[in-house]
Amino acid sequence: MPDESKGINPKLITAFVSSTRNVLSMMVGVESEIGKPALKTESKPCYDVSGIVGFSGEVAGSVVISFHEEAALSIVEAFCGERIEVDNPDFADAIGELSNMIAGNAKKDFGLEASIGIPSVIIGPEHTLARLSDVPCIAIPCSSEVGNFSVEVNIKQVSKVTV
């Protein structure tokens, strides 16, 4: 069995870069600049609004789309066509749906059997996330005309399960 604790397959990171750019451009009309991916060692997301999507199958772990609150408000407004405040349940639904689209679009480029879970959304400063401990978390910094956000990838390729 291959050692799965060495790191993240670069193809998985590339899939998230492409997916993030495509989803925001096509679904929200926001062009984004993608920064250089870097190792993330702390468990706090980069920003205050986080959409989290889990992976299972030949890919295990999660991706967190973490937005600066003002960026999240602007992106949700562009996505929904109207201003929706953070305390409105539709705000969390929109962040969850955008996170789901980014994860789903990336998944199709993995070339692996993978399933995604129902997105969870956490809103508020100073939240922490439990991550896989045997694989690094890679943070992909992003900027746009509406503000900054980050895609935090903590996934690993795992062996096919045989029955």
For residue 150, pLDDT over 50 is answered with: yes
Whether the predicted pLDDT of 53 surpasses 90: yes
The whole-model pTM stands at 0.89
| Average model confidence (pLDDT) across the chain | 89
CATH number for the domain formed by residue range(s) 10-157: 3.40.1550.10
Q: Which whole number is the average pLDDT over 40-66?
A: 91
pLDDT in tens, 1-41: 333 445 677 888 999 999 999 999 999 999 999 999 999 98
In the chain, what percentage of residues exceed pLDDT 90?
74
| pLDDT score recorded for residue 4 | 41
pLDDT for residue 47 = 87
Token readout for 52 is 């989290």
Residue 136 reports pLDDT greater than 70: yes
Q: Say whether pLDDT at 88 is over 70.
A: yes
For range 61-78, the mean pLDDT: 95
pLDDT at 160: 61
Judge contact between 99 and 16, C-beta under 8 A. no
Spatial contact of 57 and 64, defined as CB atoms under 8 Å apart: no
Q: Which pLDDT score is estimated for 162? A: 52
Q: What is the DSSP letter of 13?
A: H
The residues spanned by each domain of the chain are 10-157
pLDDT attached to residue 97: 97
pLDDT at 83 over 80: yes
pLDDT band at 102 (very low <50, low <70, confident <90, very high): very high
Residues in contact with 118: Cβ distance below 8 Å, sequence separation at least 6, in sequence order: 96, 100
Task: State which amino acid sits at residue 159.
Answer: S
